[in-house]
Structure 1
Amino acid sequence: MAVALRRVITSAPTRKNHFSSSSSSTFSHLFSSSSKSIANASAAAEVIPGGGEDIIFTEEEEESSKPVVFPSVLQPRVVVYDGVCHLCHSGVKWVINADKHDKIKFCCLQSRAAEPYLRACGLDREDVLRRFLFVEGPGVYHQASTAALKVASYLPLPYSALSSLLILPTPLRDAVYDYVAENRYKWFGKDDDCIVLQEMEMLERFIDREEIVEKSRRKD
């Protein structure tokens, strides 16, 4: 029977870096589910008919004529970034090479798999185009310079030492971040599709890898 659990994320958080209380409780269940065996995490998500922005998470996939478009288990420590940006892609490669214990996962902003993370954080794609997103865990997310330094904190030494820069005032850090972000296409260039398609060996670290592979097949 597929009626074990239903929770609805009905509103965006009122301030960044924290989810709303209802979102937090939903995320706590979903993130804890991801630490169990995959066999026990067979939940599916569906768009509420006529519900607009709401999402329902259920433990099992229900029979429906509507396609399932969202994953049910939202993973911790996921970086959602501009997948067509050369500078962003270089940063992702650097993190993957430094992250020997595979703590950080990635998702291209341009993929459908990014949508539940954006919705749960109350963000849209334009927000993340300006400042990339790091979903650290249930109830916590970060953007811009804080996101970058939080990612660094999960890396082994000496890279984790970069997180000590969190003591600097956030407006100062973000001013530098925003200046580079606004000029990144002009300085470093961009592609039409997620650049990871050109380096498929990186895909094991991407939660949207199946979608990326399917795009690659369609292009071939």
Structure 2
Amino acid sequence: MAALRRGLGAALVAVRVRVRVRVREGSWNAVNATLISPDAYSESAPSPSSVTYAVANPVLIDNSVDSATTEIKIAPTLLQPRVVVYDGVCHLCHSGVKWVIEADKDKKIKFCCLQSRAADPYLRISGLQREHVLRRFLFVEGPGSYHQGSAAVLRVLSYLPQPYSVLSALMIFPAPLRDAVYDYVAKRRYEWFGKDDDCLVLKEKELLDRFIDREELMQRTCSHRES
């Protein structure tokens, strides 16, 4: 019996050591984790409301091995490319989105209302706040590639079929000149065209299949009805 107890004790110590080594290795290997990697984009990715989160490369906030409250930041692994994040309550912006949807027969461009939580990961990877996008809408073209203002307009046009894509050649004009025109209209858009209380796309639900935040918008509508 004494020999059996000694054997069990030795095995338990070995398991504890092995677990501690694995935890330390996990914390060391997690140092280089980033918000998003170039291969994180997917053509068929789900909307951020149903985005998959992985713990393959976690960042351990508390490196204490014996801590029972270790927090883990988890980075989104799937974000969609060519997403327009725009002011969803602006009538002018909504009209522009409708025009792009009608022209974009190949459905290359997707949309997201700035007022949705689904816009958060796209704002984070672009290093922008919501007030920045209220001034100039955001086009997230891909990993490490995003545009605002007149540049965003022209990059969106470049994905449309001809003759619309030809308009992207206006990029040859200096950015300060292009953005001056954009900003002049953007600052007066509510006064000239009006605004709504919620994302205008909810009034034209046939457009929702092009929106990555459609599930969130529909849930919000249901909540309003119930209340």
Common fold: TM-score over 0.5 = yes
Q: Which residue of 2 aligns with 1:74?
A: 79
Q: Which residue of 2 aligns with 1:131?
A: 136
Deviation at 1:116, TM superposition (A): 0.5
- The counterpart of 2:93, out of the listed 88, 93, 100, is 88
TM-score normalized by the length of structure 2: 0.73
Deviation at 1:72, TM superposition (A): 3.9
Distance, in Å, in 2 between the alignment partners of 1:184 and 1:196 is 17
**Does residue 1:114 correspond to 2:132, yes or no?**
no
Asked if the contact 1:77/1:137 (under 8 Å) is kept, the reply is yes
Q: CA RMSD in A?
A: 2.8
Structure 1 or 2: more strand by fraction: 1
Unaligned runs of 5+ in 1: 10-22, 58-70
Q: Which residue of 2 aligns with 1:18?
A: none
Q: Which residue of 2 aligns with 1:167?
A: 172
TM-score normalized by the length of structure 1: 0.76
Q: Which residue of 2 aligns with 1:179?
A: 184
Distance, in Å, in 1 between the alignment partners of 2:213 and 2:45 is 20
User: How is 1:27-38 mapped onto 2 (pairs within 5 angstroms)?
Assistant: 27-31=37-41, 34-35=42-43
Q: Aligned pair count?
A: 183
Unaligned runs of 5+ in 2: 1-25, 63-71
Structure 1 or 2: more helix by fraction: 2
Partner-residue secondary structure (3-state), 1:44: coil
Deviation at 1:144, TM superposition (A): 0.1
Q: Which residue of 2 aligns with 1:56?
A: 74
**Does residue 1:44 correspond to 2:53, yes or no?**
yes
- The counterpart of 2:222, out of the listed 205, 217, 220, is 217
Larger radius of gyration: 2
